[in-house]
Amino acid sequence: MKRPILYHPDPRLKKSCAPVDDLTDDLRTLADDMLATMYDAPGVGLAAPQVGALTRLIVLDCVKEEGEKQRPLIMFNPQLLGVSDALNTYEEGCLSIPEQFADVTRPAEVEVSWIDRDGKEHREGMDGLWATCVQHEIDHLDGKLFIDHLKPLKRQMITRKMIKFKRELARG
């Protein structure tokens, strides 16, 4: 089931999320709903706080090539175990900050651990878009948005645009 996405500025997007201690059916349903929401948006990643759930859960699928098999990942308690010294700059966007993009520099490669929807532990090295996306989504779990990586003036400009966007949405 598709869930509504929260838009910046919303105080829930700035909160740290609690770790998942017990994988319940409700959490599995949340994860499945988040994947459906992400694909529908369309996006390559989504964090639980973006749909109003303050729990350490992200979903991603960075396969973008036409005809290539999707690779949906559900990550409970994702954790960066290590990052490279080498950096990459990507133009990032966010489903909670629609139509706003900016270059963000992050480590080019990361080592990530997580628990899947069946409770199985995983560990994987990621690079390219996958590395950027997983770092972006983990940031959400710590109450950080991609615009928090920008200079204050650019961040304020985007925030003002989002306030206007939300006002126009509310008017219908």
137 is catalytic: yes
- Active-site residue among 91, 111, 121, 137? 137
Walk along the chain (172 residues) and give the pLDDT tens digit of each residue. 999 999 999 999 999 999 999 999 999 999 999 999 999 999 999 999 999 999 999 999 999 888 889 999 999 999 999 999 999 999 999 999 999 999 999 999 999 999 999 999 999 999 999 999 999 999 999 999 999 999 999 999 999 999 999 999 889 8
pTM confidence score: 0.95
Q: DSSP secondary structure string, 51-103? A: GT--BSEEEE----STTPPP--EEEEEEEEEEE-SSEEEEEEEETTEEEEEEE
